[in-house]
């Protein structure tokens, strides 16, 4: 599929809108991520070319949506983002142009969920960061159960994505990103909706989370090999979540972020 095939990439969107927001902008982002972080994407061949789907990923940094957007370049996603990202003029312009779905926790989640379902029915794709916020130490945290509401109503395939290296490049504790680092992301095999939910929502959440964690550990090992052990910095992210005892309560304590 060619990047200029706007009807296949984002059904129902005009050619020039798709060309600017989902072709020109990603090329600029790719150059930035490639120059500064040697961005590498893996598994793009696993992403189906047709039909609606929900991407689900771990969340380490503000760099995540940009890097993952390059990974799924041929079938871009619409993000669900927190309202504060609209506060600045640039943020409002950019989020509006990308047609992000704003989430206002004070007004509940049903409005954004309904809008996401409406777009999925049109063949679009959404992305969910079910940890609800960026990782504070680079390690993956418990997934919020709310993601199952969208999955169960949409009844579309789920595609697990994973990213690593982004925490070292721009952790939540850093006001600005480092100018050097290594970031890598990967797509896993799509999971059919019926196969996913056959054993119930708890099993579905655990399955998605485990697959994403395995993918994250895979790219983490590749980054460490490529950097001769320099990156990522040793830390909690080296240990899979099922071997750690520092897992937070699923409800967490931070608001959702893009």
**Per-residue H/E/C for 103-142:** ECHHHCCHHHHHHHHHHHHCCCEEEECCCCCCCCCCCCCC
The pLDDT of residue 108 is 62
Residues counted in the chain: 258
> Is pLDDT above 60 for 164?
yes
The pLDDT of residue 79 is 87
Helix or strand or coil: residue 70? helix
Question: For the whole prediction, is pTM greater than 0.85?
Answer: yes
Give the span between the Cα atoms of 178 and 29, in whole angstroms.
Answer: 16
* Spatial separation of the C-alpha atoms in residues 195 and 201, rounded to whole Å: 12
Give the per-residue pLDDT at 251. Answer: 43
Question: How far apart are alpha carbons 218 and 129 in whole angstroms?
Answer: 19
Residue listed under structure tokens 């793009």: 44
| pLDDT tens digit sequence for 25-51 | 999 999 999 999 999 999 999 999 999
User: For the chain, what is the mean pLDDT?
Assistant: 90
Predicted pLDDT of residue 255: 40
The torsion angle over the Cα atoms of residues 101, 104, 107 and 112, rounded to 10 degrees, is 20
Mean pLDDT of 52-58: 98
* Mean per-residue pLDDT, 157-170: 98
DSSP code of residue 43: -
Residues 6-228, CATH architecture: 3-Layer(aba) Sandwich (3.40)
**Spatial contact of 128 and 154, defined as CB atoms under 8 Å apart:** no
At residue 28, the pLDDT reads 96
pLDDT band at 249; cut points 50, 70, 90: very low
In three-state secondary structure terms, 191 is strand
Q: Which of 85-94, 101-110, 237-246 has the lowest mean pLDDT?
A: 101-110
**Which region among 9-23, 58-72, 112-126, 170-184 has the lowest average model confidence (pLDDT)?**
9-23
Considering only CA atoms, which of 231, 213, 235, 236 is closest in space to residue 37? Answer: 231
| 112 or 2, higher pLDDT | 112
Which stretch of 156-165, 209-218, 240-249 has the lowest confidence by average pLDDT?
Answer: 240-249
Q: Where are the beta strands (DSSP E) in the chain?
A: 40-42, 53-57, 78-82, 101-103, 125-128, 158-164, 184-187
Q: What is the pLDDT of residue 34?
A: 98
Could you read off the pLDDT of 180-226 as tens digits, one per residue? 999 999 999 999 999 999 999 999 999 999 999 999 999 999 999 99
Residue 55 scores a pLDDT above 60:
yes
**In the prediction, which pLDDT does 224 show?**
98
Q: Which pair of structure tokens corresponds to residue 195?
A: 């196969």
pLDDT at 1: 43
């Amino acid at each position: 599929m060619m990047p200029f095939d706007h009807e296949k990439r984002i059904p129902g969107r005009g050619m020039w809108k798709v060309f600017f927001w989902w072709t020109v902008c990603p090329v600029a982002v790719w150059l930035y991520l490639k120059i500064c972080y040697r961005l590498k994407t893996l598994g793009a061949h696993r992403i189906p070319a047709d039909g609606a789907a929900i991407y689900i990923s771990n969340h380490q940094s503000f760099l995540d949506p940009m890097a993952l957007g390059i990974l799924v370049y041929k079938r871009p996603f619409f993000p669900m983002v927190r309202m504060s990202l609209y506060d600045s003029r640039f943020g409002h312009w950019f989020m509006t142009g990308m047609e992000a779905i704003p989430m206002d926790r004070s007004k509940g989640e049903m409005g954004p969920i309904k809008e996401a379902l409406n777009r999925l029915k049109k063949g679009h794709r959404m992305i969910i960061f079910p940890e609800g916020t960026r990782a504070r130490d680079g390690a993956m945290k418990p997934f919020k159960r709310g993601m199952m509401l969208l999955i169960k109503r949409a009844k579309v395939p789920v595609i697990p994505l994973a990213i690593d290296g982004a925490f070292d490049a721009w952790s939540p504790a850093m006001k600005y990103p480092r100018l050097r680092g290594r970031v890598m992301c990967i797509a896993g095999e799509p999971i059919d909706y019926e196969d996913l939910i056959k054993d119930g929502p708890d099993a579905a959440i655990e399955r998605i989370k485990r697959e994403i964690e395995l993918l994250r550990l895979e790219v983490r090992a590749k980054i460490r090999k490529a950097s001769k052990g320099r990156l990522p910095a040793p830390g909690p992210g080296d240990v899979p979540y099922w071997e750690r005892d520092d897992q937070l309560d699923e409800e967490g304590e931070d608001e959702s972020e893009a």
